[in-house]
Structure 1
Amino acid sequence: MNVGFLLTSLIIVASPGTGTLITLAAGLSRGARASVVAALGCTLGILPHMAVAITGLAALLHASAVAFEAIRYAGVGYLLYMAWKTLEEDGPLKIELHDPEHSDGPVISHAILANILNPKLSIFFFAFLPQFIDRGETRPGFRMLELSLVFMTMTFVVFGAYGVFAASVRDRILSRPRVLKWMRRSFAAAFVAVGVKLALVSR
């Protein structure tokens, strides 16, 4: 496996973004289990981008301004929605003293949808991964799939680690209502910031 690919992928995965926010929020509000579920959701949200890249549809998305803008602004809108819901008592940061089984659904669905609506992932698979495929590769599609699965594995491990760490300080947050209040505001502001950043992304 190319060391450059691994290092660059790690930097991309570990950089703060939508997935990081969602797994941190899940860990702080619902515990370690929810954070792992959120990490899984973020990872599954990569699958559509991987599929279109391997089949060549990412090139079409990259070339089509209308398609790109539609996905981009859908993603921005969803992040702003997440910011608004985060401020509510029953939003994504709803504190669960016990982690009921039915809570996994909303956590994983938020995570999957957030990554599906992130056009930066399609750009990543279209512009970045091909650089690590030799021109003489006899099975470029298989090689692309292999690199994509490595990237997805790194995503799950890193996001899961973020979320489990957040869950480890959860009790301290629960015991401080003021901290919880500012935590909600901080996450809402972060979702808005990521949404603004996404709005400024160019093809």
Structure 2
Amino acid sequence: AQFDVAAHAQTRFPLDGAHVATACRACHREDTAGGARAFRGVETACRACHDDPHAGRFDAARLPSELGGRTGCARCHDTNAFRDVSWSADDHRIWTGYELVGKHADASCASCHGAPFADAPRDCASCHEDVHRGQFREHGRTDCTRCHEASKTFHDLAFDHTRDTRFRLDDNHARLACSDCHVQRPTRTGELVVRYRPLGRECRDCHATER
């Protein structure tokens, strides 16, 4: 008798992807007691044949057990190769509550989560250098999105000087370059960093007194 892929499709485990080229004996192993191969009652879960490199991290009750009708490893992977991940930016939002937008949507999983896979912190400074050296840290955290467009690059600013500071720019000040007021100052370690805050708001803080 010949049991081909079409016949296998009538079982609880249709063959597709890399499984099509897998030898029968790789899954249907010999029964150590009688020497016959087991064909009924074979475990169909991925972990029956494959190690879980995530050590059960994705089985946590707080995570969705199904995504778009996919369960188990298929929530993220297909059967062609484990390295092929079928996640979308929206899946990431559903799983983590952290929406991937802009440059984050283009980043590889390992860029943030490493290998083996681990939870990633959500604050910018955990992955990106804080070039302001803590000037904008509040309650132990720096929210870069107060000034920068998270969906674009750090060079794209959402900052409005009049709205976001206590120093309204009048016509004369609005014509100045940022670097005219925000100059490099040494930190406690002697490192030169552009000073944004605290910064004086009185005329005499920037202008010499005329005599």
TM-score of Structure 1 vs Structure 2, range by shorter chain: under 0.3
TM-score using structure 1 length:
0.18
From the two aligned structures, give the one with the greater strand fraction: 2
From the two aligned structures, give the one with the greater helix fraction: 1
Q: Of the two structures, which has the highest relative contact order with CA contacts closer than 8 Å and spacing of 6 or more? A: 1
Kindly name which structure, 1 or 2, has the bigger radius of gyration based on alpha carbons: 2
TM-score using structure 2 length:
0.18
